[in-house]
Amino acid sequence: MTQSTPNSTKETSSTKETSSTKETGKTTITASLLVIGDEILSGRTKDKNINTLANKCTQIGIRMMEVRVISDDETKIVDSLNALRNEYNYVFTTGGIGPTHDDITAQSVALAFKVPLKEHREALKILEEHYPQGQFTDARRLMARVPQGGELIKNTISAAPGFMIENVIVMAGVPEIVEVMLDDVTPKLQTGHRLLSRTFKVIAPESVIAPTLEGLQSNHEGLSIGSYPYYRAGEIGTTVVMRAIDSALLDQVAAQLKLGITDHEFIDEGTT
């Protein structure tokens, strides 16, 4: 694996395009998320970043395919990262880049790529300028370390940057910081066609409309249908969500769905 250069990310993504799923002749750009932190697995901290990442990727045309949550364990991080970065166009990671003893993500990424972990000159300058005199401790200086070849991701909240090396995007675990880091890094990423969602509310139990949904799913390639039962205020119903990159396909299947469940109230909530 070559070290990251201004063009290396594009090369990595293009390489994986050849193995990406093709839908109606269009390339799907895929991603995974590696959530790192004992505090997540113990239940002490409730993760909010999965939803943020999934929504952002959907908005820009990247398909989130897998999420893993692992402990602060070097071997687990290295093994998971190597598996994911070889399967998907991009891997996002959250957590483990702070100044404490259990923040081992940066060193683990360096091990995965077999490159040195070095103090990054620009990252050091950012941190020195951020902290008042006497408050830039040795522990905080650790946050200036980046695997060789990594490019910085801006952090406009607490200064300590994330980094991107080849197709791996390494970010903090704090939700607010994840959001600003995404704002900085996502314009640099290759994207595919945006996955559209169309939502319907059907006043009927899921089991009643299941055969209709199964028929629609099996007859339309490039379409994904999910059904989610609900019970509220004495009403039993099902929310149906159809996903595709082709808006015309969604229109076609929506009409077929309506014809297939004429005995039940049907509300089309539109496409997003």
Q: What is the pLDDT of residues 53-96, one digit of tens each?
A: 999 999 999 999 999 999 999 999 999 999 999 999 999 999 99
Residue count of the chain: 272
Instruction: Give alpha helix (H) positions in 167-205.
Output: 175-185
Euclidean distance between CA atoms 163 and 161, whole angstroms: 7
Name the pTM for this structure.
Answer: 0.81
Local confidence band at 5 (pLDDT 50, 70, 90 cut-offs)? very low
Euclidean distance between CA atoms 248 and 33, whole angstroms: 31
In this structure, which CATH number among 3.30.230.10, 3.20.190.10, 3.30.70.360, 3.40.47.10 belongs to the domain 196-271? 3.30.70.360
Q: Bridge-partner residues for 35, per DSSP? A: 69, 94
Place of tokens 């409730």: 46
Query: Any idea where the domains of the chain sit in the sequence?
Result: 8-188, 196-271
Q: Closest by alpha carbon to 62, among 200, 240, 190?
A: 190
30 contacts 88 by C-beta, under 8 angstroms:
yes
Euclidean distance between CA atoms 231 and 120, whole angstroms: 54
Give percent helix, percent strand, percent coil of the chain, each to the nearest 5: 40, 25, 35
Render pLDDT for 188-222 as a digit per residue (tens, 0 to 9).
999 988 889 999 999 999 999 999 999 999 999 88
Instruction: Take residue 82 and report the two structure tokens written for it.
Output: 């190597």
Local confidence band at 28 (pLDDT 50, 70, 90 cut-offs)? confident
Task: Give the homologous superfamily in CATH for domain 8-188.
Answer: MoaB/Mog-like domain (3.40.980.10)
Q: Bridge-partner residues for 168, per DSSP? A: 91, 165
Residue 64 DSSP SS3: strand
Provide the pairing of β-strand 168-171 with 162-165. Answer: antiparallel
